[in-house]
Amino acid sequence: MRNNYQFLNNINFPSDLKKIKEHELQKVADELRKETIDAVSETGGHLGASLGVVELSVALHYIFDTPKDKLIWDVGHQCYPHKILTGRKERIRTLRKGGGLSGFTKRKESEYDPFGAAHSSTSISSALGIAEANKLSNKSDNVIAVIGDGAISAGMAYEAMNNAGASHTKMIVILNDNDMSIAKPVGAMGTYLAKIFSGKIYFSLRETIKLITSAFSKRFSAKAGKAEDLFRSAVTGGTLFSSLGFYYIGPIDGHDLNSLIPILKNARDSKHEGPILIHIKTKKGKGYSFAEKAKDKYHGVTKFNINTGEQVKSSSKVPSYTKVFANTLVQHAKKDSKIVAITAAMPDGTGLDIFREEFPDRTFDVGIAEQHAVTFAAGLATENYKPYAAIYSTFLQRAYDQVVHDVAIQSLPVRFAIDRAGLVGADGPTHAGSFDITYLSTLPNFIVMAASDESELVKMINTSTEINNKPCAFRYPRGSGIGSVLPSINEKIEIGKSRVVQEGKKLAILNFGARLKETFKASDNLKKKGINLTIVDARFAKPLDENLIWQLATTHEAIVTIEEGSIGGFGSHVIDFLSKKGLIDRNLKFRSMTLPDIFIDQDTPENMYKFSNLDSNSIEEKVLDVLNSNIVVQKQK
């Protein structure tokens, strides 16, 4: 730890926090906020959400007996103060780095992380599971789930609340309402919460403590009195939460420890048989002026200057794949009024904020609801619109049944723009786009494409506009392109046709996706050793370019496939084709290069691909191994 703090220097675990006098807890929170800002300025990460829950983090660990009591943070964007208080203070500047702390909660990392999270809206479900396990084991440990107003908009949260309300199992849910998830929250829930705050039920500190104390003392007695009736009619009468079976308290000021401490204490000590929901109001980016003023409240930041708020930006002048997608789609939408775009609470991340500026009425942000997003897109497709569902690979996993049942089976022409394909670096395994090639290529009626560079991405978008009888997907990585010249929006590619980008002998490499640049690096080294490769930009995992594969298999000694995805994807489809045609029986050598069958921890993308044996050195080694060469590969630094 770089700073000399009066309190935080002596706090390594919640047991140390409990030694602090209650009236000094705000000073602890102030130091914790300063340390969070200081650490994230060096590492980058999810700053705004963490700053918004500093007081809540202090209060929860002060009142509850963690890790015996289970504290579950939804998504984990806001867990940095929690990590500092739970034995990870000295490692906080390793956040999101190779071998360092995860940017999310992680069971393997600490006993204070009872449930790992990085996708939203899972906290209530997991907390209920733990609470039911406690009931079965006759344990009285508390279970607390913290969920944001954005995350609670997802269907899974409602499913969990419905089940929890009917179970009569005690658990505590804290709704952290900051009016801002990643982007501005959308939908009826956001409007509903806003109405709560616009009414006269946002109590002052004195009124809150009086009502909460009175309500709890009477609510959990054999017979409720007038105070409870007043409280429930003023605050919870007719609300969604009480209708779902939750005892609702709030809303209260989530930055006021004098409010939080007694309310959490009463919730902890109550004998209420059933779930309790405490609704708090917080401010994302609280306590750091640049974060408070930012449009996204500094949701995800790179390294930054604390004094100026200026973030370290990439020096690359090459546009990102995300921006190329967005700008290309805008060009098509200007010519085709049937093109519409759908995002699941990620307009900025997917580039659809650019599309929305041009076509606000044709842009649909459905909130954190990927399942709904896909079926909503399917509905649009039935009416001859051309929906583009722009969803990160990792988040599309959440809607797989809808992709299968509502889109593929009905052959509806939904276009999936799959951003963050492949390994993504600091966000680690939960956000890696490792599986979409496999889980989409297994589906009948699907066209699956992967762009080797930004020029190819434009061509795939162009092509997708005219695919009107079945679904399609095109995947592309995070970050900047390679600087290739972008074609016009009229340049398309033939469905299922690869392109040969280099003619060679003996061995052919079929590259699917953005490893093409690394393949060329390997080829350049191999040329110096007298080995000339045939290199193919495969473009399609489905349908395969069977004619070209047949030709390569009958004119080369070996074929190697490369992809930024798991086993079961492009390479598996190629070997299946070769096997069915009997080509493997003719002494053709075949190797597939995929991501390893493990979840890869966070690091730089370069290090992650090196670890995965998908860098140029690994490609070179694979070629030499297949050809049984004795030439030694010189490792590149």
Residue type, 585: D
Using left for φ > 0, alpha for ψ between -120 and 50, and beta otherwise, residue 437 falls in alpha
Residue by residue, DSSP assigns 194-248 as HHHHHTT----HHHHHHHHHHHHHHHTSSS--HHHHHHIIIIITT-HHHHTT-EE
Q: Which residues of the chain have pLDDT under 50?
A: 181-182, 191, 194-209, 211, 215, 217-238, 632-633, 637
| The CATH number of domain 321-475 is 3.30.70.2500 | no
Measure the CA–CA gap between 175 and 148, rounded to whole angstroms.
6
Q: What's the burial of 313, exposed, middle or buried (CB within 10 Å: 0-12/13-18/19+)?
A: exposed
Cβ burial of 68 (10 Å; 0-12, 13-18, 19+) is exposed
What pLDDT does 184 receive?
54
DSSP assignment letter at 35: H
Tokens representing residue 376 in the block:
């909503």
Q: Which two tokens stand for residue 77?
A: 């964007």
- In Å, what is the CA distance from 507 to each residue of 258, 532, 548, 555, 567? 71, 8, 14, 9, 22
- CATH 3.40.50.920 intervals, the chain: 499-626
| Rg, Å, the chain Cα set | 27
Cα–Cα distance measured from residue 70 to residue 323, given in angstroms and rounded to the nearest whole number = 41
Q: Are strands 472-475 and 499-502 parallel, antiparallel or unpaired?
A: unpaired
Q: Which of 210, 245, 216 is nearest to 228 (CA)?
A: 216
Q: Cβ(596)–Cβ(613) under 8 Å?
A: yes
Tokens of 59: 């209060």
Rounded Cα distance between 350 and 323, Å, is 8
Q: Range(s) for CATH 3.40.50.970 in the chain?
A: 8-199+278-293, 321-475
Please give the Cα distance from 510 to 498 (Å, whole number). 9
Q: Which residues are catalytic?
A: 284, 370, 398
Residue with tokens 């100026």: 308
Summarised one tens digit per residue, pLDDT across range 212-227 is 555 454 444 433 333 3
> And the tokens for 631?
């030439």
Closest CA to 144 of 126, 162, 119: 126
- How is residue 486 annotated by DSSP? P
- Cβ pair 515, 570 in contact under 8 A: no
> Residue 489, Cα to own-chain centre: how many angstroms?
30
SS3 118: coil
Q: Are 556 and 507 in contact (CB under 8 A)?
A: yes
Distance CA 34, CA 181 (A): 22
* CA separation for the pair 412, 468 (Å, rounded): 8
Cα 618 to Cα 93: distance, rounded to the nearest angstrom: 31
Report which DSSP code applies to 403. Answer: I
Q: Which CATH superfamily is domain 8-199+278-293 in?
A: Thiamin diphosphate (ThDP)-binding fold, Pyr/PP domains (3.40.50.970)
Report the distance separating Cα 535 and Cα 545, nearest Å. Answer: 14
Question: Sign of dihedral through CA atoms 393, 395, 400, 402?
Answer: negative
Per DSSP, the three-state class of 489 is coil
DSSP labels for 102-113?
-SSB-TTT-TT-
**Closest Cα partner for 103 from 80, 84, 73, 123?**
80
Q: Go through 385-397 and write b for each residue having 16 or more CB atoms within 10 A of its CB, e for each that does not.
A: bbbbbbbbbbbbb
- The number of residues making up the chain comes to 637
Gap between the Cα atoms of 546 and 527, Å rounded: 28
Residue 619 to residue 140: CA distance in whole angstroms: 56
Whether the model pTM is above 0.85: yes
Domain 499-626 adopts which CATH fold? Rossmann fold (3.40.50)
Could you tell me the end-to-end alpha-carbon distance of the chain, in angstroms, rounded to an integer? 32
Determine the pLDDT at residue 233.
37
So what's the pLDDT on residue 219? 47
pLDDT at 587: 80
Is the previous residue joined to 319 through a cis bond, with omega within 30 degrees of 0?
A: no
For residue 180, what pLDDT is reported? 56
Token pair belonging to 27: 């000073």
What are the Cα distances from residue 65, in Å, to 116, 179, 264, 573?
A: 19, 30, 12, 52
What does the angle CA 247 – CA 250 – CA 254 come to, to the nearest 5 degrees?
125
Q: Distance between CA 159 and CA 378 in Å, rounded? A: 23
Question: To which residue do tokens 């597939």 refer?
Answer: 592
Give every CB contact of residue 385 below 8 A, 6+ residues apart in sequence: 338, 339, 340
Say if CB 219 and CB 272 are below 8 A apart. yes
Predicted confidence at residue 188, as pLDDT, reads 53
> Is 402 within 8 Å of 440 (Cβ atoms)?
no
Residue 177 is given by DSSP the state E
Dist CA 370 CA 191 (whole Å): 20
Omega before 605 within 30 of 0, i.e. cis: no
Structure tokens that stand for 69 in this block = 């009591």
pLDDT of residue 206: 45
